[in-house]
Structure 1
Amino acid sequence: MFKSFLLLLLITFSQTAFSQIEQEINPPGYIKSISFQGQARESQLPILQLGQALILEFDALNGDEDDFYYKIEHFDYDWTPSQLMQSEFLSGIDNQRLKNYENSFNTYQIYSHYNLRIPNEQTRGLKVSGNYMIKIYNDLDELMFSRKFMIQENLANVGVSIKRARNVKEIDNMQTVDIIINSGNMQFNNPTQTVKTLIIQNNNLNTAIYNVPPQYTMGNELIYKYTNETLFEGGNEYFYFENKDIRGATSAIQFIELHELYSNYLFTNIPRFNKPYTYNPDINGAFLITALDTEKPAIEADYAWMHFSLLMDELPENQSVYVYGNFNNYVIEDATKMTFNSQRGVYEVPVILKQGFYNYKYVVVDNKTGALNESFISGSFWQTENDYKVLVYYRDLGARYDRIIGFGEGNSNTITN
C-alpha cells in the first residue's frame, strides 16, 4: 500500500515537474484569415466573460472541403496544463467535426470558409474561468493550428491608467501601466502569492508582461505604480491599407495588376525612427474583412497578393525585416520575410491576404537570437495611441487552478505625465 502511494506521488510529481509551457501552433500556408473573436466580433485576442459565446472563423484555400475537428484544453496562468479534468471545465464533449462551412462565391481564389461557435450542440459551454487553447485537427488527427483565449469572471474591479515613463531616460519613448485592483466582496489571501497579473499591449501576447506582484496594499485594493516593471515601448502608429474594392487604387495602393489573382502594389513606406511623431488613427494592429458590393464578405471577399515595400538601406546579414501585424497573429514567418531588391533599393515581399482593412508595421529580427525589435524602423514615442488590457488571476490557498477574476482596459490617448 505504501509503495503504491509512493509510486502515485512520484508520477504526480513527474507530471508537474515536466509540464511544458504551451505554445500556439501556426497554420500551414493554405489556412488563412483566422479570426478568433467573442461576441463583440473583434478579430483580436478573445477575452470573454464566463458564459459568453466564442466564434472561430478561418479559410482553407485548397478547395478540398477538408474535414476539421476541434479540441479544447485548460491551462494555468503560466500556460502549463491545469490539473482539471475535461469534465470539470467543459460541459459536453469536444473532438467534433466543424460542420458549418461554405465555399467561396464569385472569387478568383477558391476557398472554404469555416465557422465554429461555442456553445453548440456537442460542446454546451465552458464552466470555469482561466486560460484556454483551442486546437484544430484534420481528419488524420494532425494538428493544423492552435489559438489561445481567456475567460474571466468579472469579480474584481480593475482600474487601468497609462502614464509616461517615470524613468527620465525613457520618458520620451516609453509608456507605463498603473493598475488598481479592488477585490470588492472577495477576500484576497496572501495576495503577493495568490494574485497574478497579465498586461497586454494591442492584443499581442508576444510582448505581454507577466508576473508583476502588487506593489502595496491599501484596504481591499492592490496598487501597482512601478517605475520599470510595467513599462512598454510606445512604438508608433501602424501603417494601413484598405482594398475592399480589389480593382481600385486608394491612398495606400499605388497600382493593380491581374494575373491568376489580383496584385495590389502598396506605396513604398519609409522608416520613421528619425521622424517626428505624427498622429495617424489606426486600429492598433488589427484587421477587418470587408468587400464592396457583397452581402456576405466571409465568402465573397477575394484574396489578393499585397506587395509591401520599404525604402531602406540593406541591413547586415544577421538581421532580417518582416511585415508584422495581427493578420498572422504577430508571427515571424517566411511568408512575411522581406528580401532586399538592390536595383530599387527597397525591401519587398508579396503576401496573400483577404480583402479588407489591415494594420501592419515593419520589424527587425536578429537571425541568431530571434530577438525582435519593433522600434528599429518605426521608432518609439510616448504619444503613440495604444490599447492595454489587464487580466487578474487568482488561486486561493489549496485551489487546483488559476481563475481570472478581473479584467480592465486602458488607452494611451488619455496619457498623463
Structure 2
Amino acid sequence: MKNFYVFILCLFASVAGFAQNAPFDNNVYKHEIKSVEFYNSKKAASFPAIDLGGRETVTLGFDDLSGASRTFNYTIQHCDANWNPSRLSPAEYLESFTDDRLNDYTYSSGTFQKYTHYEVKIPNRNIIPKVSGNYILKVYEDGDPNNLILTRRLYVVGKRVSMSANIISSNNVALRRTNQKVNFTIDYSGLAVQNPNTDIRAFLMQNARIETGFMNNVPTYIRGTQLVYNDVNINDFPGRNEFRHFDTRTLKLNSERISKIYKDTANTVMLLGDPNRNLPNYTLLYDIDGKFFILNQDGNDARRDADYAHMYFSLFISKSPDDGAPYIVGQFNDYKIDDRSKLTFDSRGRWYTDLLLKQGVYDYQYIWVNKATNKPDDTILEGNYFETENEYQLLVYYRQTGSRYEQLVGYSLLNTAKP
C-alpha cells in the first residue's frame, strides 16, 4: 500500500511538471553560472551519451561566481525524440529518487575571480535512469523546480540496432564543393517492429548542434530488416569551416592568437583581430569541432585553480550595423544567439565584444544575423567547404506499438576524417 501511494504522488508530480512550459534545451538561466561542462565521463567534452544499465556515467560541472552559499538540486526527466515530455511518471523512468542535492563542491584557490565549482556524475546511488531515451537534466535552486539554474540534454542508449554509414559529397552538383552528405543504414532485426515507416526514426546532427539536425521519419526504402536512408535530398549538410580557436592554458605568456595579457585586479586578454574567412578555397586548420576544455598549465586542478579572464574579441569585416550584426558562438555558450553573444560596432569600423571565460582551450565561430530577414547565417563570415572535418551524431529512436514513450536504441559517432 505504501508503494502505491508513492507511485500516485510521483504520477501527480509528473503531471504537474508536464503542465509547466519547461524548456528542454541546453540552457543557462543565471548570469553568474559559468563554464558548464557536460560529457561522457570517459572523455572531457565528449557527447553526453551513455549505455543503459552499464557502468558509464556523464559528468556535469559548473562554476558559481556569486560567492553566496546556495542549495542546488537536480533531476532528470524523460523526453521523446523531439524533446517533448514523455507520458511517463518519474516512477516509471527512474529506479531510485526523483531528485537529489548537489553536495560535491569546492572553492576556488589562488584566483582573481572567486567561484564555487560544483560537480556530479550520473547515474549515481540516488539518480538512476530505468529506460532508454532522451533525458533533460535540470539543476534548480532551493528545491524549487521552477527556479532553474541550468538544463542539459542527456542521451541514454539501450543498444538494439546496428548501423552503418558513409559520408560523401553532395548529390547536388551545385553543392559538391561545399556540402557533405551522410547516407546510412539501420538494421532493426533485434526489434519487434510492426511498421518500419512509423515505429523507427533517426536524428542526425553535425558537431552535436541541435539546430543543424535532420529528423528522418521515413526511410528511402526497406531491404528485409534494413532501413536505408540515401535519398538525394536528405541529410545533406553544409560542410562549413573549421572553427577559430584560442588557448589560455597559461596566463603567464602569450600563446597563439593572443596579442596581450594584462593583470591587475582581474585578468584581461586581448586576442588578435579576426578576419572574414569566407574565401574561395579551403585552408586546413586543426580544431576541436566547436568544443572547449577547461585547462590550467600553471596549477594542479583546473576545476578550482583555473582563473577567469575578460577575453576581448575583434572582428574586421566590411559590414555595417545597417546590414545586421555578428554573434560569437561555440559549445561554451551553447551556440546561443542573444545579447550576450552579440558584437558591438565601434567608430573605427570594427566589431568587438568581451566575454568572461575560464582558462582553457576554446573553439568559436561568428554567425551573421541579417537585419532585414533576422535569419542567422554561419557561413557568410566563415566560409563553406566540403573538405572541412566534422563529427556527426546519429541517434535512432523506436516506439513500440502501444508504448507511451520512445526508446533510444542506437547511437553512432561519425567523422569525415575517419571513414
2:115 to 87, 91, 111: 111
Does residue 79 of structure 2 align to residue 78 of structure 1?
no
Partner of 2:342: 337
Q: Does 2:16 match 1:49?
A: no
Maintained 8 Å contact 1:362/1:378: yes
1:130 aligns with 2:133: yes
- Cα distance in 2 between the residues matched to 1:136 and 1:368: 37
* Structure 2: distance between partners of 1:370 and 1:67: 39
Contact 2:49–2:155 (CA<8 Å) still a contact in 1? yes
Deviations 1:188-224 (A, max 9, x none): 3211111111101001112211244211111221111
Letter in 1 for 2:350: V
2-side partners of 1:308 and 1:298: how far apart? 25
Q: Residues 117 and 284 from structure 1, CA distance in 2 versus in 1: closer, same or farther, beyond 3 angstroms?
A: same
Which of 387, 408, 413 is 2:412 aligned to? 408
Match of 2:275, SS state, is: coil
| Structure 1 equivalent of residue 358 of structure 2 | 354
Cα separation, partners in 2 of 1:264 and 1:316, compared to 1, 3 Å: closer
Is 1:169 equivalent to 2:169 in the alignment?
no
Question: Structure 1 pair 19/353, CA: closer, same or farther in 2 (3 Å)?
Answer: closer
Gaps of 5+ in 2: 1-14
Distance 2:405 2:229 in 1: 24
Q: Which amino acid aligns with 1:283?
A: I
* Alpha-carbon distance in structure 1 between the residues aligned to 2:115 and 2:371: 34
Alpha-carbon distance between aligned partners in 2 of 1:256 and 1:83, rounded to the nearest angstrom: 53
In structure 2, what is the equivalent of residue 38 of structure 1?
40
Q: What's the C-alpha RMSD, in Å, of the aligned pairs?
A: 2.1
How much has 1:185 moved relative to structure 2?
Answer: 2.8
Q: Tell me: CA distance 1:315–1:229, structure 2 relative to 1, closer, same or farther (3 Å).
A: farther
Offset of 1:346 from its aligned partner? Answer: 1.6
1:307 is aligned to 2:309: no
Alignment match, 1:6: none
AA aligned to 1:67 is: T
Secondary structure of the structure 2 residue equivalent to 1:336: coil
Distance of 2:399 and 2:157 partners within structure 1: 13
Partner of 2:9: none
Q: Distance in 2 between matches of 1:18 and 1:215?
A: 37
State how far apart, in whole Å, the 1-side matches of 2:44 and 2:302 are: 15
- Tell me if structure 2 keeps the 8 A contact 1:162–1:414: no
Partner letter of residue 288 of structure 1? F
Instruction: Please give the alpha-carbon distance, in whole angstroms, between the structure 2 residues aligned to 1:207 and 1:19.
Output: 27
Comparing 366-375 with 27-36, which one deviates more in the overlay?
A: 366-375
Per the TM alignment, residue 66 of structure 1 is displaced from its structure 2 partner at its CA by 1.6
Aligned residues: 399
Contact 2:261-2:269 at 8 Å conserved across structures: yes
Q: Structure 1 171/198 Cα, relative in aligned 2: closer, same or farther at 3 Å?
A: same
Choose from 231, 234, 246 the match for 1:229: 234
8 A contact 2:99–2:126 mirrored in 1: no
Which residue, out of 200, 203, 211, partners 1:195?
200
Question: Is 1:100 the equivalent of 2:104?
Answer: yes
Post-superposition CA distance 1:325-384 (Å, at most 9, x none): 0011111122221111222x2211111110000000111124565422110100100110
1:284 matched to which residue of 2? 289
Name the % identity.
Answer: 32
Counterpart residue number, 1:374:
378
Normalised TM-score (structure 2)? 0.90
Question: Partner amino acid for 1:38?
Answer: N
Instruction: Please give the secondary structure, in 2, of the residue aligned with 1:192.
Output: helix
Task: Report if the CA contact (8 A) 1:159-1:409 is conserved.
Answer: no
| 1:23 equivalent in structure 2 | 24
Q: In the alignment, which residue of structure 2 is the partner of 1:396? A: 400
**2:50–2:156 contact (8 Å) kept in structure 1:** yes
* Higher mean displacement: 38-47 or 251-260: 38-47
Alpha-carbon spacing, 1:59–1:369, altered in 2? closer, same or farther (3 Å):
farther
- TM-score normalised by length of structure 1: 0.91
Q: Is the 8 A contact 2:294 2:361 kept in 1?
A: yes
Give the Cα–Cα distance (whole angstroms) in 1 for the partners of residues 186 and 61 of structure 2: 34
Decide whether aligned partners of structure 1 residues 59 and 367 sit closer, same or farther in structure 2, where only a CA change above 3 A counts: farther
SS at 1:236 equivalent: coil
Whichever residue aligns with residue 23 of structure 1, its letter is F
Instruction: Decide which moves more: 47-56 or 99-108.
Output: 47-56
Q: Partner amino acid for 1:59?
A: D
